[in-house]
Amino acid sequence: MTNKSLIENMGIGIDIVDANRFKKIPYMKKKEFYKKIFTKSEIDYCLSFKDNYIHFAGKFAVKEALVKSISKKVKLIHIKTSHSNSSPIVSIDSNKQYAFLVSISHEANLAVAVVISIKR
């Protein structure tokens, strides 16, 4: 693959989320809202933390950054986030068209994510 074709097959997306958005709408009061965005395993993961809102914000930032990186509409519930050896992993339901690299960070009430997409 040439450098030009590699660049044509790559995308990058970034998103920053104020975690207070999720703090203001706690999971226990707005379960249906969360279930439209996050998978059961994502919800379980976030709820395993005392300050779960920052983790919801981080996962939301990853999903938004992924959509920006591929420049296509995707329902957020179809984007799956997980971890392997403490490294974040992201994929789209039944879509092997892309490979993704992801970085996520939290600071105070902010979560930021960067996703690089590579078309296969």
Distance CA 80, CA 21 (A): 21
pLDDT for 52 equals 96
pLDDT for 3 equals 63
Assess contact for 13 and 98: CB atoms under 8 A. Answer: no
Q: Please state the pTM of the whole predicted model.
A: 0.91
Instruction: Tell me which CATH code domain 3-119 carries.
Output: 3.90.470.20
Q: Where are the domains of the chain?
A: 3-119
Whether residue 110 is predicted with pLDDT greater than 90 in this model: the reply is: yes
Summarize pLDDT for 75-95 with one digit per residue, the tens: 999 999 998 888 899 999 877
Q: Using alpha carbons only, give the angle 84, 86, 88 rounded to the nearest 5 degrees.
A: 65
Name the β-bridge partners of 117.
Answer: 11, 100
| Helix locations, 12-120, DSSP H | 20-23, 31-35, 40-47, 52-70
Summarize pLDDT for 14-66 with one digit per residue, the tens: 999 999 999 999 999 999 999 999 999 999 999 999 999 999 999 999 999 99
Token pair in block for residue 101:
């690299």
Assess contact for 110 and 53: CB atoms under 8 A. Answer: no
pLDDT for 5 equals 72
pLDDT for 107 equals 94
